[in-house]
Amino acid sequence: MTDLPDTMRALMLTARDTLELQQVPRPSPGPGQILVRVAASPVNPSDLMTLKGEYGIDADYPFVPGLEGSGVVVAAGSGLMARWLMGKRVALATGVGGLWADYVVVDAARALPLPAGVSLGSGAMSAVNPLTAIALISLARKGGHWSVVSTGAGGQLGRMIRKRAREKGVKVINVVRRAEQVAQLEAEGARHVLNSSDARFDEDLARLCRDLRCRMAFDAVGGAMTGRLVAALRPKSEVLVYGALEQSAVQLHPGKLIFREATVRGFWLSQWLPRQGLPRLLMAAREATQALGGGFAVSEVARIVPPEAAQDGIAEYAANMSAGKTLIRFSDADLGVTPTA
């Protein structure tokens, strides 16, 4: 560790909506831990919620946000696993932030070595969305559902859900909110795409749900959308709310719940993962990383920014999320992805 600097750059959230680039002491790994030189970390909707103090993590200010990313292991504490990871390129999902910095310390069990063909850029986005797509489609299959409604379908996770569903034989009614997203998804091969801004949306959604006997929805939006889904789905439906993109309370007429015996519940990957057990978890992680090279797990990257320009990169992402992720680059390592913007 003698060659490593004593301090590092970190994007520090010092209060709600106050992100500052600071020079701070570099952490050191303890027993069973690794020190990772961070290559890149994306900006996800969960990060936007974290910046507003609305995400489900218990962290006191100041702290470093960034829930997933990639990098190279440059130091290891004691323990076989930690030492085995030394020098390896890894994907990380910390569950508590910490990735928006030059270095991060994590438990060795939280690092996933990247296969040779997977770039550090793709690897930075290999955990949260791909595993969520796997989880949601497996929940649909377990519940005996062969068709689902998916909102926020023009985003990266929406696209992954559609592709993963196709692999597993599940039909998807994709819901977006702009006409150009309809055209985009149809050009990508999506069969059922509805625009929630259209006057006939509720009617069209109910008709499609009837035709496809659809009783399950994955809702990334919340607000009024959740109630519209319950109203359109077949009776005894289940709506899994997994995102809060509308940033407003779920609106739902109790009559729709009662007389249709509908269920609305939350889904959080951080709760789902620990329930799976190690073998299933490893299988899901392997499937996710394998699907980065042209499979369902590929994410579009709109722009790559250094930490000094993170604020602009975050704002640009929030203004047009469908265009692709902002990746914050912390090292000179080749990320192997080409931004679209």
Beta-sheet pairing, 147-151 with 111-113: unpaired
Best CA proximity match to 37, nearest among 80, 3, 13: 3
Our finding on whether 201 is near ligand NAP (CB under 6 A) is no
Residue 77 burial class via C-beta count within 10 angstroms: exposed 0-12, middle 13-18, buried 19 and up: middle
C-beta of 29 vs 243, nearer to ligand NAP: 243
C-beta of 81 vs 96, nearer to ligand NAP: 96
Applying CB under 6 A, which part among 32-40, 76-84, 282-290, 314-322 lies near ligand NAP? 314-322
Counting every residue written for the chain, the total comes to 341
Our finding on whether 284 is near ligand NAP (CB under 6 A) is no
Q: Which of residues 220-239 bind ligand NAP (CB under 6 A)?
A: 220-221
Our finding on whether 46 is near ligand NAP (CB under 6 A) is yes
How far is residue 223's CA from residue 56's CA, in Å, rounded to a whole number? 18
Q: Is 189 left (phi over 0), alpha (psi -120 to 50) or beta?
A: left
Applying CB under 6 A, which part among 25-33, 93-101, 241-249, 281-289 lies near ligand NAP? 241-249
Applying CB under 6 A, which part among 90-98, 103-111, 199-207, 264-272 lies near ligand NAP? 264-272
C-beta of 96 vs 105, nearer to ligand NAP: 96
How far is residue 202's CA from residue 195's CA, in Å, rounded to a whole number? 10
Number of residues counted as binding ligand NAP (CB under 6 A): 26
Exactly one of 79, 154, 227, 313 binds ligand NAP (CB under 6 A); that residue is 154
Please report how close the Cβ of residue 16 comes to ligand NAP at its closest, in angstroms: 18
Exactly one of 33, 132, 150, 326 binds ligand NAP (CB under 6 A); that residue is 132
User: For residue 193, which phi and psi values (nearest 5 degrees)?
Assistant: -130, 125
C-beta of 147 vs 156, nearer to ligand NAP: 156
Best CA proximity match to 337, nearest among 118, 67, 172: 118
x/- mask, ligand NAP, residues 14-43, rule CB under 6 A, reads ------------------------------
Please report how close the Cβ of residue 229 comes to ligand NAP at its closest, in angstroms: 12
Our finding on whether 242 is near ligand NAP (CB under 6 A) is yes
Q: Tally DSSP H helices, then E strands, for the chain.
A: 12, 15
C-beta of 89 vs 177, nearer to ligand NAP: 177
DSSP label at 318?
Answer: H
Question: Tokens at residue 249, please?
Answer: 């309370």
Dihedral of the alpha carbons of 156, 286, 284, 169, in degrees to the nearest 10: 70
Q: Which residue is nearest to ligand NAP (CB)?
A: 155
Our finding on whether 126 is near ligand NAP (CB under 6 A) is no
Our finding on whether 65 is near ligand NAP (CB under 6 A) is no
Question: Tokens at residue 66, please?
Answer: 């960034």
In the complex, which residues of this chain contact ligand NAP (CB under 6 A)?
44-46, 128-129, 132, 152, 154-158, 177-178, 220-221, 242-243, 245-246, 267-269, 320-322
